[in-house]
Structure 1
Amino acid sequence: MAVKAEQDLYLDPSIRDWVLIPITLIMVLVGVLRHYVTLLLNSAPKKQAANAVREQRALGRAALLRQTAPLSPIPPAQYKSLSASFAAALSSGEYLKPVASKEGGDDASPPNPFEGAQMENMMDGMKKQGVMMVPNMVIMQYISVFFSGFVIMRLPFPLTAGFKSLLSRDLPMPDLDVRWVSALSWYFLNLFGLNGVFKLILGSNNAAVDARDLTAMSALSGAGGGMMAGPGGQPDMSKLFKSEVENLALAEGLYKWVGEGIEDRVLRSWGKL
């Protein structure tokens, strides 16, 4: 059986100094710059009306009571009293903010999603996507024009042929060993592999990588078992309240007091029982 000879390529050290290291530094610096530009583009949080805050806090307190039911620090009598009180208040709509009446009754047109807060949220998302996409497009085009076909490094460990398309994207050499990395492939490896570096430099909640802004209103969605949207894309709090009442009823069946049997547990731990 014929054994394929190992391929030896001799790379100019200038490729390491003027291609490999600069691409890595540029990707790190662009990520740091993207983080701070995103922070500058973030809109200042707006003040909410007192009744809207009261509405959200009531739902949050009910959800907290429900989530701690399997091992609750609240004694049984107090827990049942709180659960019944929350269920009655949420069912009656005590915490719901008054809905502004519209002229025209039922014939009034629905709110325009391209006005007010909805439009501002859409613009914030577009600005953040622009900050993410524009630098990546510029850098990728720059590398494709000036460093297309460059072999810049060799990985020190063996890989299967399945990594060929990942590491040698712009190298038209099907017989080249999979361990050789092209300049464009190195760019993509840095694009998706520098998350740990950015966490080390900027912290875990950084804006240097994508996949952000997917957890907005997570407390409300978790409390209601899913976001229930009303007119204009806003959450329908009345439906969320009704869903939370059902969740509170289910949580009562899972309730267990953390202090139940504490005397026997303490005596058993000291070998007295």
Structure 2
Amino acid sequence: MGAWTVLQERQAMLLDPAIRDWVLIPIMFVMVLVGIVRHHVTVLLSGTPKKADLKSARETKALQRAGILRAFGSHLPSQAFETRKVYLCEAFEKGRYLKDPDAKNKPKGNVMQDPAYVETMMDGMKKNMMNIVPQTVIMGWINFFFSGFVLIKLPFPLTIRFKSMLQRGVETSDMDVSWVSSLSWYFLNLFGLQSVFTLILGSGHAADAMRDMQAMSTMGMGAAAGPQYSPTGQPQDMNKVFLSERENLEIAEHEWGLDNVETRLLVKYGKKPREVLLQQQEAKKKRLTSTSSTTKTTTTTTTSSSSSTSNASFQPASVSMARAKKSKRA
């Protein structure tokens, strides 16, 4: 404890109160103000939201339905799960949920001639510009006027791994990790003011820095564009997406969530030993293994019987030919 106190006294620094009044608070105030302005400008540029296309929404909901069935199929009985699985696999195979089922095998045209794609890409570029320009200006302002400033000390100790995150722009190895530089204070405000923006602007505001950074990597489309667009912004072939989802459904295994529920409850509350549940699970595995082996044996027997039947059907012809040859020789 004494060594830690001595170390703290050696690293103690006194900050000028003017730094708090003219650097710390102004940076936070400017970032809040810029976020509010950016939200309103983004709303003005976006205009009236468009109504969702019914056929595109049907494609999206069909994929979501298949994903929900694979994820939560254990809540359904085996028969209900298999019924839904067969129906969706057949629908994906036939292209029943495609926007244009007749054009699924036709070659795709130039995507730049699609007005919807071009408009979506332009909206993404506008949103990216509204994110890049203000943040670039604020970062340049902080680097020019407040480079190398130490603004605040955090009231809790941190490990050395946080030094590069909290002391950007201050090249020193002796300073305590809990001190925060001006550039790091900018990044902390960038990702920490979301609750303030939600309080001022409401939920779904356009000042969310994390969402904007995700949109930059997807040309501003993100998840709002649905599965019709890939993460790079290019239109996807929905027929291939449906066929891939059909394969995922076909290999999905079902396990009834209420199987052995009575035994599990008794084991959970200590009424039965856990070995009983383990024995039931082992018996179920053996039963499934024997069922699969019986199915394979039945299939092999059916194949062999069909082959023997075909051989028997050809036998009379060969016998008659041999008899004809013998009669000719005689």
| Paired letter, 1:94 | R
The equivalent residue for 1:38 is 42
Bigger helix fraction: 2
The equivalent residue for 1:236 is 237
| Paired letter, 1:250 | I
- Structure 1: distance between partners of 2:108 and 2:65: 35
Are the counterparts in 2 of residues 43 and 124 from structure 1 also a CA contact under 8 Å? no
More displaced stretch, 24-33 vs 57-66:
57-66
Q: CA deviation at 1:124?
A: 1.7
Aligned pair in 2 of structure 1 residues 184, 271: CA closer, same or farther (>3 Å)? closer
**Structure of higher RCO (CA pairs closer than 8 Å, 6+ residues apart):** 1
Aligned pair in 2 of structure 1 residues 18, 59: CA closer, same or farther (>3 Å)? closer
Q: Secondary structure at the match of 1:152?
A: strand
- Structure 2: distance between partners of 1:60 and 1:12: 57
Alignment of 1:70-109 (within 5 A): 70-72=74-76, 75-98=77-100
- Structure 1: distance between partners of 2:165 and 2:120: 36
Larger Rg: 2
Are the counterparts in 2 of residues 113 and 233 from structure 1 also a CA contact under 8 Å? no
The equivalent residue for 1:245 is 246
Alignment of 1:166-181 (within 5 A): 166-171=165-170, 179-181=178-180
- Structure 2: distance between partners of 1:8 and 1:85: 70
| Paired letter, 1:240 | V
Q: Deviations over 1:10-57 (max 9, x none)?
A: 433222122211212222332333334334433544345544444444
- Is the counterpart of residue 12 in structure 1 residue 16 in structure 2? yes
- Structure 1: distance between partners of 2:83 and 2:161: 61
- Structure 2: distance between partners of 1:55 and 1:173: 56
| Paired letter, 1:238 | N
Q: CA deviation at 1:7?
A: 4.6
Are the counterparts in 2 of residues 228 and 239 from structure 1 also a CA contact under 8 Å? no
| Paired letter, 1:127 | K
- Is the counterpart of residue 182 in structure 1 residue 186 in structure 2? no
- Is the counterpart of residue 141 in structure 1 residue 140 in structure 2? yes
| Paired letter, 2:120 | N
- Structure 2: distance between partners of 1:42 and 1:65: 35
The equivalent residue for 1:121 is 120
TM-score by length of 1: 0.69
- Is the counterpart of residue 27 in structure 1 residue 31 in structure 2? yes
Q: Secondary structure at the match of 1:148?
A: coil
- Structure 2: distance between partners of 1:228 and 1:135: 25
Q: Secondary structure at the match of 1:153?
A: strand
- Structure 2: distance between partners of 1:270 and 1:149: 62
Q: Deviations over 1:146-197 (max 9, x none)?
A: 3334343334445566655544444466655555443333223322443454
- Structure 1: distance between partners of 2:161 and 2:79: 62
TM-score by length of 2: 0.59
Q: How many residues align?
A: 256
Are the counterparts in 1 of residues 93 and 243 from structure 2 also a CA contact under 8 Å? yes
Q: CA deviation at 1:237?
A: 1.9
Are the counterparts in 1 of residues 91 and 97 from structure 2 also a CA contact under 8 Å? yes
Give the alignment's Cα RMSD to 1 decimal: 4.3
- Structure 1: distance between partners of 2:266 and 2:108: 69
